[in-house]
Chains A and B, each alone.
Chain A
Amino acid sequence: MSYISLSYWDLALAAILILANGLISLWFRLGLEKSLLINTVRMLVQLSLIGFVLKFIFAQTSPLWTIGWAVLMILVAGREVMARLTTRMQGWWGYGIGTTTMFFVSSFTTLLAVGVIIGPDPWYAPRYILPILGMVLGNTLSGISLGLETLITTLKRERSSVEARIALGHKRFLAIDEPLRQALKTGMMPIINAMAASGIVSLPGMMTGQIMAGADPVEATKYQILIMFLIAGATASGTLLAVVGSAYRLTDDRGRLRLDRLEGS
């Protein structure tokens, strides 16, 4: 099987579909055309640049470049978690909790997958590390932001019931056990659902890519299963760490609820 290269004309043809989006927005006065345009251009620029950047990094095959780019990816993912929250924690925690958590869980799972399971030579081969890290990060970041958003909004909404429990003498984590459980569930649900749908409803992107590039579907499936495990593990542990860490920060050692540590309070 051969790899079919796309011409820029092929892409232009596909871009007509975006124009249809724009027309729908204008027709129904959804007001989306401006952000549609901006985000389409953003997507174009980001993806074109990343093509060149990855080409460059792949050519170096140096641990320094690989790790440097990986760190950058994690920092950007951390910013994205923060951006998705309607209310953030004040100070370092606002950016730090998501970023630190993702740093630990994504580097652990990626190193496990690449270093131990796949075992390319050399181990720091960027063509394995960076795509896997990207897939893990993309999913943990949505799990973490969903979990944190739920925790914070539930604590704010349930403030009177949480404080009633605190006043009754309930200990720090017991008083907030309902918001905690809600947050963990919400953070983990999407990946659990994704596993159910994958294969029949959705052919996961990575597997599709490998198949189109000429890989044997059975081999591609094995990679996809590996990725699913990595993503599920990283999302679960990342959500747990970030949510429990934030719950720790939003209460104190006297068992009080500390919503004053949120921005805008």
Chain B
Amino acid sequence: MLKVSALKVHGLDPISFELHGGDVLVVRGPSGSGKSLLLRAIADLDETSGRIFLDQMSKDGEAAGNWRTRVRYLAAESGWWLERVEQHFADPLAARLLGKELALEDKLFDSPVAHLSSGERQRMAFIRAIEDQPAVLLLDEPTSALDDHAAKRMEDKIVALQKKGVILIIVTHSNEQALRLATHVLTIKDGAARVERA
């Protein structure tokens, strides 16, 4: 269970909600309303006040690296720090298998990062984010650079994770995607966030 209480995100009233394994919370709101900042706050990437618990684990009581291993944030813009794609994975073999599910050709893993399209990088970063099986996934516009076919594969994977009991919080601009995935919706309006069942 992920319990967020009185979390203060830039410019918004304190936010509180609870999610259980298999819940998918879709975050809606205009650009610049603080959707990404909300995800960053939950992953402890920005300084905020408020308390967050994952089961018995508390955000501030746990070493930051451990928290971010259990509560994984995936930014809209992917980041890479080594030459080739494959070097970024702990288990390149498992990553290649996941790549097949997301329509990524095997040879892409041997390429320099710079040779990949933004859509390919986005899917690679997704694989990297789920590699160590986090309990909570915070996805910031995970399909923004994908065509319909690739986006569908990604959504299938998201549903598969949901079925395994992963808690997902997703920022998306696509109404259709929100309808397909959401079990809960968080709407940001006039500086306040409200969570409802979908």
A interface vs B, CB < 8 Å? 158, 160-171, 178, 252, 254-256
Contact = CB atoms under 8 A, between A and B. Distances in A.
**By CB atoms of chain A within 10 A, which of B64, B66, B73 has the most?**
B64
B81 A166 contact: no
Contacts of B74: 167
A169 B132 CA distance: 11
A166 B68 contact: yes
Contacts of B64: 254-256
Contact of B65 (A163, A164, A169, A252): A169
A74 B152 CA distance: 62
Contacts, number: 57
Nearest to A159: B79
Given A160-B75, A255-B64, A255-B65, A167 B43 contact: yes
Given A254-B64, A256-B44, A167 B81 contact: no
Interface of B: 43-47, 64-66, 68-69, 72-75, 77-81, 125, 128-129, 132
Contacts of B132: 169
Nearest to A161: B79
A171 B65 contact: yes
A164 B89 CA distance: 13
A254 B43 CA distance: 11
Nearest to A174: B65
Contacts of B125: 164
A162 B45 CA distance: 11
Given A158-B81, A164-B125, A254 B75 contact: no
Contact of A165 (B46, B69, B79): B79
Contacts of B78: 160, 164
A146 B152 CA distance: 48
Contacts of A178: 81
**By CB atoms of chain B within 10 A, which of A164, A166, A171, A178 has the most?**
A164
A68 to B, nearest CB: 42
Contacts of B47: 252, 254, 256
Contacts of A170: 65
Given A160-B79, A166-B45, 19 more contacts: A158-B79, A158-B81, A160-B77, A160-B78, A161-B80, A161-B81, A162-B81, A163-B45, A163-B75, A164-B81, A164-B125, A165-B79, A167-B43, A167-B45, A167-B72, A167-B74, A169-B69, A169-B132, A178-B81
A167 B65 CA distance: 8
Contacts of A164: 75, 78-81, 125
